[in-house]
């Protein structure tokens, strides 16, 4: 198979006695675009990302730019796929700059002036150059999230998996990070999959969307075709509508909850 993008066929993942995702069929996710992964808590979003990264049990076919990831050893898969969890491991006593250089070298980068300049430029882009000589275990949750993003981008993956990267960030940094991820995804022609809970962020920054419910794919396609009143009702249990603001940007307005079903 030589097609570009990320395709899943009959893909299942979860735990030995508790399957979470069953027989997912996902059309190729496009390179150079951001795919937002949507769904309520417990629907399998994090399970999917971890399985794609080889950190959780998965079965089926996962094709990345013509390569079947499921047949590759973990080390080989890690050269192509980078996963950023919701929080970095605690207790790591490294300078921010050191941690990113370590990530760079883990992906084949060499210790050189040019490589260090690339790291410093990335820190500048993320707005955290002033943290370069701070220790990771001294940082706030939001600062650690940004450092984790820098560690991920410096590895130049083909597939970047971000699990709620905005959860610890304020509004300014949420927009800044999504704008940067969009630019880097396009510039590097990566496939980026981002778990977000804010539907309006998904509408504004996503190019493609997948919506899950109870481990099943409910809808996929352009965000404006996926995020509609019908899916808001069936997946999230809310009465919602999509309207455009004065600048033409679509936004979700929630009017209430759907009636609870008895029995």
- Asked whether residue 98 is domain-assigned, the answer is no
- Asked whether residue 123 is domain-assigned, the answer is no
Nearest to 47 by CA among 74, 15, 79, 24: 15
- DSSP 8-class letter at 234: I
- Asked whether residue 116 is domain-assigned, the answer is no
Q: Do residue 263 and residue 152 come from a single domain?
A: no
- Asked whether residue 176 is domain-assigned, the answer is yes
What is the pLDDT confidence band of residue 47, given thresholds at 50, 70 and 90?
very high
Range of the domain at 181: 6-92+145-223
Q: Do residue 62 and residue 32 come from a single domain?
A: yes
- Asked whether residue 199 is domain-assigned, the answer is yes
Query: Which residues share a beta bridge with 219?
Result: 211
- Asked whether residue 32 is domain-assigned, the answer is yes
For residue 262, is pLDDT > 50? no
| H or E element, residue 7 | strand 6-15
Q: Do residue 263 and residue 192 come from a single domain?
A: no
Read off the pLDDT of residues 139-162 as tens digits, 9 standing for 90 and up.
Answer: 998 899 999 999 999 999 999 999
Q: Do residue 155 and residue 87 come from a single domain?
A: yes
Q: Do residue 250 and residue 164 come from a single domain?
A: no
Q: Do residue 60 and residue 151 come from a single domain?
A: yes
- Asked whether residue 132 is domain-assigned, the answer is no
Q: Do residue 239 and residue 152 come from a single domain?
A: no
> Mean pLDDT across the stretch 233-258?
95
For residue 180, the domain's CATH number is: 3.40.50.300
d(CA 24, CA 260) in angstroms, rounded, equals: 28
Q: Do residue 24 and residue 70 come from a single domain?
A: yes
What is the pLDDT confidence band of residue 168, given thresholds at 50, 70 and 90?
confident
Start-end of H helices in the chain: 45-52, 74-80, 96-106, 113-126, 141-153, 171-188, 199-205, 223-226, 229-231
Q: Do residue 245 and residue 149 come from a single domain?
A: no
What's the pTM value of the predicted model, to 2 decimals?
Answer: 0.94
Inter-axis angle of helices 141-153 and 171-188, nearest 10: 10
Q: Do residue 178 and residue 202 come from a single domain?
A: yes
Decide if 193 contacts 37 (C-beta within 8 A).
yes
Nearest to 6 by CA among 20, 21, 26: 26
- Asked whether residue 173 is domain-assigned, the answer is yes
Q: Do residue 149 and residue 263 come from a single domain?
A: no
> Mean pLDDT across the stretch 199-214?
97
What's the total number of domains in the chain?
2
Q: Do residue 236 and residue 185 come from a single domain?
A: no
């Amino acid at each position: 198979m030589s097609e570009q993008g990320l395709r899943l066929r009959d893909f299942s993942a979860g735990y030995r006695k508790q399957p979470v995702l069953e027989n997912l069929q996902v059309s190729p996710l496009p390179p150079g675009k951001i795919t937002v992964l949507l769904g309520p808590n417990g629907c399998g979003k994090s399970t999917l990302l971890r399985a794609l990264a080889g950190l959780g049990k998965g079965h089926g076919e996962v094709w990345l730019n013509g390569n079947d990831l499921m047949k590759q050893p973990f080390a080989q898969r890690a050269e192509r796929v980078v996963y950023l969890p919701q929080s970095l491991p605690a207790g790591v006593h490294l300078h921010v700059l050191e941690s990113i250089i370590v990530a760079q070298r883990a992906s084949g980068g060499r210790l050189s002036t040019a490589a260090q300049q690339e790291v410093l430029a990335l820190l500048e882009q993320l707005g955290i150059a002033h943290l370069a000589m701070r220790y990771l275990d001294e940082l706030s949750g939001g600062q650690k999230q940004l450092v984790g993003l820098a560690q991920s981008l410096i590895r130049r993956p083909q597939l970047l998996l971000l699990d709620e990267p905005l959860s610890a960030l304020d509004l300014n940094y949420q927009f800044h990070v999504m704008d940067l991820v969009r630019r880097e995804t396009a510039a590097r022609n990566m496939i980026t999959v981002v778990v977000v809970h804010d539907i309006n962020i998904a509408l504004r920054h996503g190019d493609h969307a997948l919506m899950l419910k109870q481990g099943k794919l409910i809808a996929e396609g352009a965000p404006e075709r996926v995020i509609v009143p019908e899916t808001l009702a069936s997946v999230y249990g809310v009465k919602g509508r999509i309207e455009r603001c004065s600048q033409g940007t679509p936004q979700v307005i929630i009017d209430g909850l759907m009636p609870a079903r008895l029995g």
